[in-house]
Structure 1
């Protein structure tokens, strides 16, 4: 998360697991953009240029307007997992 936050176009990031038929789980980064939404390829290249190992780069990057929150105001990663799981189900159908 901290490496993505270093990008000028990224305001906030939350990384969660998403279901995968082959591996069981993969990573998905939810990004709130600062201004114009950057290209996914741009963010992945940025991470590679910072020397991040390929297996540490998120498998998927989704852009979102705001994060769902828990009752105490923290990011609800549980809700983010639901969001990506629902998107994956829709894509499979």
Structure 2
């Protein structure tokens, strides 16, 4: 998360697991952009240029306007996992 936050066009990030038929789980980064959203390829290139190993770069990057919150005001990663799982199911249909 901290490496993505270092990008000028990224306001906030939350990384969650998403289901994968082959590996069981993969990573998905939810990004709130600052102004004009960068492209997924820009963010992945940025991470590679920072020396991040390919296997540590999120498998998927989704842009979102705001994060769902828990009752105490923290980011609800449970809800984000649900969001990506539903998107994946919709794509499979």
State the distance in 2 between where 1:75 and 1:69 align: 5
Offset at residue 25 of structure 1 (A): 0.2
User: SS at the partner of 1:8?
Assistant: coil
Q: Take 1:9 and 1:34, find their aligned partners in 2: how far apart are those partners?
A: 5
Q: Secondary structure at the match of 1:38?
A: coil
TM-score scaled by length of structure 1: 1.00
Secondary structure, aligned partner of 1:47: helix
User: Which string of whole-angstrom CA distances, capped at 9 and with x for unpartnered residues, describes residues 24-81 of structure 1?
Assistant: 0000000000000100000000000000001100000000000000000000000000
CA drift of 1:17 comes to 0.1
Q: How far apart, CA to CA, are the structure 2 residues paired with 1:49 and 1:43?
A: 10
State the 4+ residue runs in structure 1 displaced beyond 3 angstroms. Answer: none
Note the aligned Cα RMSD (angstroms): 0.2
Q: Name the residue aligned to 1:74.
A: 74
Unaligned runs of 5+ in 2: none
SS at the partner of 2:84? helix
**TM-score with structure 2 setting the length:** 1.00
Structure 1 stretches of 5 or more lacking a match?
none
Q: 1:8: how far off?
A: 0.2
